[in-house]
Amino acid sequence: MATKLNTRDAKTRKRLVELADAVAAAAERGRDPHVDIPARTLSNVRYNKTKRFIEMGRNTNRRQLFNLSQAKTFMQTMLVAQGVSELIAEQKTLSIRGLFYRLKHDVKGTKEPTFEDQAECDPVIEDVEVLLNSLREELHVFADLRGGMVGNLVLVDSGDEIDCSRLGSGGYAMPSIVEPEVIQFRKCDAEFVLHVEKGTVWQRFNEDKFWRKNNCILTHGGGQPPRGVRRMLYRLHNELKLPVYCLLDNDPWGYYIYSVIKQGSINLAFESQRMAIPDARFLGIRSIDFERCGLSDSVKIALSDTDRKRAKQIAGYPWFAHKAAWQKEIKRLLDNGFKLEVEALISRDISYVTEQYTPERLKAKDWLD
């Protein structure tokens, strides 16, 4: 290991070495090697009212080598840890798909593959994340490339200084890994972040130079924002002290996206502490907007049974359950019987959403928390 590691990599590496040492020590003492992995189950997830995000409980599952039903997963866990260790040593990153291919082979002397398919590998990667208490990005593993950003922000990405106010119509493609070792903020004049759901809406805001007129940073996540986007929003919020406003569709999916940005994801609760933004605000589209904005019947999209079910589930989330405004919002959606996309505002005028709707809501501090 000639490479000099940065602090974060050195820390992750230390945890990997401790993991390996514990297994080796058990083997040397003639004990059954095992690892205790925090349980990633719904029953081990709770909403922390003080921290205001979802976090994992303390339940763990023991995974033993000398247990017929656990031996394979134990081996897979060690394989992923080894793979990650190599990535850090080589100072390279891989997609979860790439890591899968790198680790997939037949176990020596057998026709038994280490991993059957990607679906068998992904949960083990998550296991190693929680086991090491490291974000996937710290393990040098990334998922999807999606989302974009533009606005009054100068950042440094891998040594390149990038002025996000000078990126034309395309903007800055959000990388999968936006950790401080890769990306540093150099200068920020923006006063807030506006996060919109879709790239098409983002283009409308960018074309109308909303971020310039309103001095903000404009981001989108290409639908449900991938981890890189959430982590970027988190860093913008916490390091640069920028409020984050979300403009999403008026449907259960939009509510859910907001919920994940705000409180974290239920499936991956362990990342909440470095992803969730409890102070994120929901600007719209609101259920009252059909009436308030004077929209016509033609923009209504009928709620499906699944929509109704999801809306009720979301209304029951602990972080929404005690908020009268949210209960009212969701009830109104159900009473309306229809949903509204952000694009529906275009029926008023092409730039209604950028020149009236959003500035007016911001000025009136008219949002849901």
Which residues carry out catalysis? 101
Q: Which helix (H) or strand (E) holds 331?
A: helix 324-336
For a copy of itself, which is the closer residue by CB, 23 or 247? 247
For residue 168, the SS3 value is coil
- Under DSSP, the state recorded for 197 is S
Beta carbons of 230 and 137 less than 8 angstroms apart: no
Binding mask 170-199 for a copy of itself (x = CB under 8 A): xxxxxxxx----xx---------------x
360 is a site residue for a copy of itself (CB under 8 A): no
Q: Which region among 27-35, 54-62, 262-270, 338-346 touches a copy of itself (by CB under 8 A)? A: 338-346
In the complex, the smallest distance separating the C-beta of residue 157 from a copy of itself, rounded to whole angstroms, is 2
| Pairwise CA distance, residues 251 & 287, whole Å | 9
User: Judged by CB under 8 A, how many residues of this single chain contact a copy of itself?
Assistant: 63
With CB under 8 A as the contact rule, the residue among 30, 109, 159, 294 that binds a copy of itself is 159
**Least CB distance from residue 277 to a copy of itself, whole Å?**
21
Q: Residue 133 interacts with a copy of itself (CB under 8 A)?
A: no
Check binding of 106 to a copy of itself (CB under 8 A). yes
Toward a copy of itself, which CB reaches closer, 73 or 93? 93
Strand order in the sheet with 183-188: 160-163, 153-157, 183-188
Pick 67 or 118: Cβ nearer a copy of itself: 118
Question: For residues 281 and 171, what is the distance between their CA atoms, to the nearest angstrom?
Answer: 24
Residues ≥6 apart with Cβ < 8 Å to 205? 194, 196, 211, 218, 353, 354, 358
Q: Does 225 bind a copy of itself (CB under 8 A)?
A: no
Of 40-48, 55-63, 203-211, 306-314: span binding a copy of itself (CB under 8 A): 203-211
Looking at 104-218, list the stretches that DSSP marks H as alpha helix, in order from N- to C-terminal side. 118-132, 199-207, 210-213
